[in-house]
Amino acid sequence: MEMQLPEVPMVHIFSFLDAASLLRAGQVSKYWKSIADEEHLWRKLCQRRWSIAWGGLQVPSWKQLFLTHTRREHCMMRARRQDFAYKESTDSFGLLKPLAYFSGSDPSMGDQKPIVCTVSSKCMLCAWDVQEGFMIWCSPAQPSSIKCLATLPQKSLVFTGDALGTIKVWNCQDEDPLATLSLPSSCTSMEVFLTDDDRPVLMIGDSEGDIHTLTVPELQIVSCVNAFECPVFCLSCSPNKKWIFASGTHEFTLPKVFYTDSLLSPSFGTHALFVTFLMTFCTRVSWALKRANRLTVMLRKDFFGRVEFSTLDITVESPGGSTTVSGHEIASFILTDNIDAPQCMGVCDGTTVVFDSGPHLLLVTIDGYLLQKFNHHQNIICSLWMDPVHVLTTSMDNYLHLYMWDEGAFLPRLQSCCHLEQRKDDMRPNCDYPIAICDNTSIVCVVSKSGRASFLVMYSLNM
């Protein structure tokens, strides 16, 4: 202990420690504590635990951020029904879909109250205070039905796209749009993200198969690329913002992954860089939340309905000055006949896949080995929401269930946390699939009951 290594090798050695070991090392001596408090060590721990996209954020203290978020996670993991404050709002607008920015999900949000946005069947956009359970504002009725909704929590922005091709950007605190753009075709898919230099970008897929790249908040068109001969069904950005997955509505349309820089840089001209996958009948896709370039695709293998999961790594190379994008399959498996075909899926660290099978939730390796099977629902699971920490399921049995990743396990494992009613003391049948989302302190669910009654149910953890 008396031998004092130089700072550089000490920092390298400490980079292999987990958070608990790093905290213990900091108690050995003042010199060790100065090394253990190095900001980039805690930044790496935050990226490893939550998201690789966090690395570019500016925060006062990465160590404090890690400890604060970990404490909130532990509170949520131990929580039971009585530990939540319950709020609900009955809405005559007919709530359809929630998309939220939750302060606990993003470090740049600080202590801002969680807000959730919903779209109504009367073409209105509404913002709600989750903790207080009331509506903050509601927009005037829009000329056409809103087909797409996305949020950018870091900038407090909301984006909508309607059936007439009208794109709008809103401030989360105001019912008036900041900017409006009219496209020639209906909006069918939407994705929004921040670039490495903190520049917000909006991408729109339309009914003509085009992908439009827009500046934010001005909604100026940067590029327009024709991707398919059918509507763009899905746009999904990778966690490191380097790739955009796109698929069409037609079952025989081959999906593509675009190199994001080629859609953002005018120097590429109209020649966007992409790789096409020889896969048909793609039904779902999920980027690995903790890997830079890995995605898993769920597809029907044949006309008999067999389901296959294929996991690929995407790379970009520049041999001889010519940039090419390629995708390499690293694992795949086909579900056996005794497993019900999934409706939802998610991928966290890139080595496992989470998906539903009837009322069951399965955790399976990307090679097809079953790790865990959960039986908390009595009816089919109809939605699955996932972030790097949580897995949240809803079912037609009027309950939702929260799982969280067990960081202490050698292999990826889920821990069952709490089982909550979708709406308190209301066991009437659902007339539509319930949808739920969450962060480290809140759970929100949209429930539609018989009689066309819709409810926004909000659980907030008593901290």
| pLDDT per residue as tens, the chain (463 positions) | 556 788 888 889 999 998 989 999 999 989 999 999 998 899 888 888 876 556 556 778 889 888 988 888 888 889 888 999 999 886 555 544 545 554 444 554 555 678 888 888 788 888 888 888 888 888 888 899 888 999 888 788 899 999 999 999 998 777 889 999 999 999 999 999 988 888 899 999 999 999 999 999 999 999 999 999 999 999 999 988 999 999 998 888 999 999 999 999 766 545 789 999 988 888 899 999 888 899 999 998 766 678 999 999 999 887 777 788 999 999 999 998 888 889 999 999 899 999 999 999 999 999 999 999 999 999 999 999 998 899 999 998 889 999 999 877 678 899 999 999 988 888 777 777 888 998 888 999 988 877 667 888 999 988 7
The string of DSSP codes covering 13-82 is HHTT--HHHHHHHTTT-HHHHHHHT-HHHHHHHHHHHT-GGGGG---S-HHHHHHHHHHHHHHHHH--GG
Separation CA 231–CA 235 (nearest Å)? 11
Tokens of 36: 């253990």
Separation CA 377–CA 399 (nearest Å)? 7
Separation CA 122–CA 322 (nearest Å)? 50
Are 383 and 360 in contact by the 8 Å Cβ rule? The answer is: no
Q: Is 244 left (phi over 0), alpha (psi -120 to 50) or beta?
A: beta
Cα dihedral 58, 192, 152, 97 in deg (nearest 10): -150
Q: How far apart are the first and last CA of the chain?
A: 41
Q: How far is CA 35 from CA 8, 39, 257, in A?
A: 9, 9, 41
Tokens of 96: 């359809």
pLDDT of residue 433: 85
pLDDT of residue 129: 87
Place of tokens 């899926």: 345
| Residue 101: CA count within 13 A, CB half-sphere | 25
What predicted TM-score, i.e. pTM, was given to this entire model? 0.88
Separation CA 73–CA 387 (nearest Å)? 13
- Strand pairing category for 360-365 and 352-357: antiparallel
Burial of 111 (0-12, 13-18, 19+ CB in 10 A): exposed
Sign of CA dihedral 217, 219, 222, 225: positive
